[in-house]
Amino acid sequence: MSFTDPVAQDLHAAESGQADSYVRTTYAVWEITLKCNLACAHCGSRAGDSRVDELSTEEAFDLIHQMAELGIKEVSLIGGEAFLRKDWLDLAREITRVGMRATMTTGGFGISERTAERMKEAGIRTVSVSIDGLEDVHDKLRGRKGSWRQCFQTIENMRKAGIPIGTNTQINRRSAPILPMLYQKLVDAGVKMWQIQLTVPMGNAVEEAELLMQPFELLDLYPLLAFLSKVGVNDGMVVQPGNNIGYYGPYERAMRGVKFKDRENMFYTGCNAGIDVIGIEADGSIKGCPSLPTKAYTGGNIRKTSLHDIFFKAEELTINEAAGTEAGTDHLWGHCKSCEFASLCRGGCNWTAHVFFGKRGNNPYCHHRALKRAANGQRERFFLTEAASGLPFDHGIFDMVDEPLDAPYSSPLAFDLDNVQFPEEWKKRIPNLVADLRAHRDRYIKYYSESRFGQSQPA
């Protein structure tokens, strides 16, 4: 495994220039129902039952027309489980009829071959299936035995129907050790696109905080993710990092630019909530991103205000308009405020920061941050101080402590490279794989300690 060292170049880009100005063109992620046939331990929306007052078919059609008038190009249907809403295919047909692209994300439990055919007929263009590990881990996380096998049956049904299929995976302490095994299962199933995202403490995951990766565990996780991304290039599998994977460590461009020809210039440029995405809840509430907490980021409801006015006038949807200006970093605090990449990264994923601390602007899930801490012989560890309310898209409040990098730490789910499982063929081909990954980790900690990052204590 070989990567160039992009740290210095990324640092120069962040210090010498500003992010390009944004043009607000967007796609919509639409939760059409909160009803779900799974019970995921990490579900941020606490899906299960329908919302009290979900949009009627007539209201949903009106919203579709408003989205088209706004210039939205793609509408991704999600839940809960989208197909549990009775008129879901009617909505897909109307989205297609007015010239927008209809896509879907699903838990994959219960989509028959005939349903897949009907989806194709309704105009659904692509489908992403959520798979969170091998069978035992996935079924435990998803709260329903047999759900893993159903996911792969859904993939096969989509293939027969002619619908391109991708997958997405939540990375946490249960799924992280078996990511290479899952990768191989996905490749064997013919999957070509795999999006990965860190589990964060929203919704059900607040009560399952032991699932969450501690920030210092990123030191072992990122060499593994970078390796899987590199293997994916050879296998024709795009391993696509989600918005809370990053930022500005040694693997940023190697991972984030994997599906682009100009890989050297691909790196994270900050939260795009309200810029190129909006989130719609089943009752008509509009947010700048589907993952953001409802209470803090809802800009309005289409039952009371037009989508146009919410999109262009609501403060909650315009939080990122200052990107590329000096005011674009006013919200930063803690480590992110003094970071070398502040003007470009702008604190990373706002969703991730907010659900840890109750406000955006200081992101604990940052590889660059973890490396700086390690270079100074430190690490960060979070712990829950305030419980969540129990509502959809809620969160608790966490606090952070700094401690020595080698301080004793005990957790039955603690993650490191030693507990990662690899396919037997990989171990035969690269017998020193774990040692190589560990060497990569240590190499970059050393790199940071000998650079400016090791010359002063991080904020």
| Residue 370: predicted pLDDT | 97
Amino acid type, 230: K
Domain that holds residue 395: 1-459
Q: What is the pLDDT of residues 96-147, one digit of tens each?
A: 999 999 999 999 999 999 999 999 999 999 999 999 999 999 999 999 999 9
Q: Give the least confident one: 28-32, 38-42, 407-411.
A: 407-411
| Residue 451: predicted pLDDT | 87
The Cα 145–Cα 139 span in angstroms is 5
Q: How confident is the model at residue 262 (pLDDT cuts 50, 70, 90)?
A: low
**CB-based contact 204:40 (threshold 8 Å):** yes
| Sequence-separated (6 or more) residues with CB below 8 Å from residue 245 | 196, 197, 198, 225, 255
Q: What single-letter DSSP state applies at residue 160?
A: H
| Sequence-separated (6 or more) residues with CB below 8 Å from residue 4 | 254
Q: What is the pLDDT of residues 348-370, one digit of tens each?
A: 999 999 999 999 999 999 999 99
| Sequence-separated (6 or more) residues with CB below 8 Å from residue 240 | 193, 194, 195, 196, 258, 259
Q: Is the preceding omega at residue 247 within 30 degrees of 0, hence cis?
A: yes
pTM (2 d.p.): 0.92
The Cα 38–Cα 143 span in angstroms is 6
Q: How confident is the model at residue 20 (pLDDT cuts 50, 70, 90)?
A: very low
**CB-based contact 138:144 (threshold 8 Å):** no
On average, the pLDDT of the chain sits at: 91
**CB-based contact 129:167 (threshold 8 Å):** yes
Q: What is the pLDDT of residues 138-183, one digit of tens each?
A: 999 999 999 999 999 999 999 999 999 999 999 999 999 999 999 9
| Sequence-separated (6 or more) residues with CB below 8 Å from residue 345 | 14, 246, 247, 248, 268, 269, 270, 336, 339
| Residue 24: predicted pLDDT | 56
Please, is 92 exposed, middle or buried when counting C-beta atoms within 10 Å of its C-beta (0-12, 13-18, 19+)?
Answer: buried
**CB-based contact 62:85 (threshold 8 Å):** no
Instruction: Check which CATH number belongs to the domain holding 270 and give it.
Output: 3.20.20.70
- Supply φ then ψ for residue 366, to 5 degrees: -135, 125
| Residue 452: predicted pLDDT | 77
| Residue 258: predicted pLDDT | 65
Q: Looking at the 3D structure of the chain, how many domains does it have?
A: 1
**CB-based contact 130:104 (threshold 8 Å):** no
How many degrees, rounded to 5, is the angle at CA 245 between CA 243 and CA 251? Answer: 130
The Cα 340–Cα 346 span in angstroms is 11
The Cα 260–Cα 176 span in angstroms is 26
Closest by CA position to 111, among listed 38, 199, 204 = 38
Q: How confident is the model at residue 255 (pLDDT cuts 50, 70, 90)?
A: confident
Taking each helix axis from N to C end, the angle separating 147-161 and 135-142, rounded to the nearest 10 degrees, works out to 100
